[in-house]
Structure 1
Amino acid sequence: MGFDDSAFDVPEPPPALVPVPAVRAFDFHSARVVFGAAGCGWQFDLRADDPVTRDGMLLVPLISEADYYRAVDGDGDAYASLVPAEDVYVQRPEPGTGAPRPGYLIERLSDPDRPPVRRPYPASDVPSLVGRRVWYWTDGAFRDDFRCVSEPFEVDGDFCVRVVEERAWYRWQRTGMLPKAQDAFIHHLWTQ
């Protein structure tokens, strides 16, 4: 694989994704958002556009991640659902929030009437990685636009996972065009 010595560094975990009410957020064009309501539940993997006002009500256009990347690729129009702004939360990274060990139920308990905080977990601690969005530590920074396309495997004593850029992941689903995958050290990946 040919990694340099810095590839063996284990960085601090990426930040948790904290839901911020859309009515308190600024400039959330293309932002990842959570949509839902107390007493109902929550949807993730959505993107927002700038809010609009209709009949005195503030509405946020929402599209699925798949439609977002289809539009980014210029492969057709994306049709948004207009939803009340009070039911939309923008996911914002909150530095220094760390990650509890997965499996401890008491640490995962949340209020079902509020959108949950999404904490990063080391990929090495999470089963069934294929298809999961991950933070990837590459070139000294975290990127949050990758998907796993394999389970962990070993190469010359190193544990790796094959990843692709999220845009290519969705293009693969839509067109069948195989993405360019890369092998990433498992200790450089955190699930979202």
Structure 2
Amino acid sequence: MGLADDAFEVPDPPPVLVPVPAKRVLDIHSARVVCGVPGVGWRFDLRADDPITRDGMMLVPLITEADYYRAVDGDGDAFASLVPADDVWVQQREPNPDPIIPPPGYLIDRLTDPDKPPIRGPVPASDSPVLIGRRVWYWTNEGYRDDFRCVSEPFEIDGDFCVRVVEEAAWYRWSRTGHLPKPHDAFIHHLWTQ
């Protein structure tokens, strides 16, 4: 389980995830989405399929991330909920205009409009109080990937602070089948929570 990235590289922050109404996005198949209604609240960790029209209403089939990865593995069918397109937003990557998203800290800095799906800005893993189970952006020499989950809290290897991560598909497979994932020890300054 050697380190898979260069300790001396300090990358710029990854993109911000901005919710865009599903009706304004051309291709939403397999996209990560936010679902909700003003006055109620918001759900994350969902995937969308291509919209359908039923009785003149555009509906978006939604499944959980766990069901999405189960279907990707060919381990059974995923049954989607049909949600009105007006209640679905696609998380689109936009360059990080740091510091549009305030760092974690004071509550006053984290206040949002509860009637709009929030923008999700990356937070350095070193600033997150809990990492196990969190989805992270993982920077390697090829750039950022957003399909990793943390399976440890920070630890030290030869003076470097690291976190053990696994690919998200393997994370969900582990939960579903008990098949152990192959972990990578990543430098903490190469990880950003979502």
TM-score of the superposition, structure 2-length normalised? 0.95
What code does the residue aligned with 2:94 have? E
1:113 matches 2:115:
yes
Q: Deviation of residue 3 (structure 1)? A: 6.6
Q: Out of 92, 102, 105, which is 1:103 matched to?
A: 105
What code does the residue aligned with 1:31 have? A
Q: Which residue of 1 aligns with 2:183?
A: 181
Structure 2: give runs of 5+ residues left out of the alignment: none
Q: Which residue of 1 aligns with 2:152?
A: 150
Q: Which residue of 2 aligns with 1:16?
A: 16
**Conserved 8 A contact 2:4-2:185:** no
1:69 matches 2:62:
no
Alignment RMSD: 1.2
Cα distance between partner residues in 1 of 2:145 and 2:78:
25
Structure 1: give runs of 5+ residues left out of the alignment: none
**Conserved 8 A contact 2:160-2:187:** yes
Q: Deviation of residue 96 (structure 1)? A: 2.7
Cα distance between partner residues in 1 of 2:87 and 2:141:
37
Question: Which string of whole-angstrom CA distances, capped at 9 and with x for unpartnered residues, describes residues 76-111 of structure 1?
Answer: 000000000000000001103325321132332110
SS at match of 1:107: helix
Cα distance between partner residues in 2 of 1:187 and 1:55:
50
Q: Which residue of 2 aligns with 1:57?
A: 57
Q: Which residue of 2 aligns with 1:89?
A: 89
State the number of aligned residues: 191
Percent same amino acid among aligned pairs? 75
SS at match of 2:180: coil
SS at match of 2:149: strand
SS at match of 1:70: helix
Cα distance between partner residues in 1 of 2:12 and 2:135:
18
Question: Which string of whole-angstrom CA distances, capped at 9 and with x for unpartnered residues, describes residues 149-189 of structure 1?
Answer: 00000000000000000000000000000000010000000
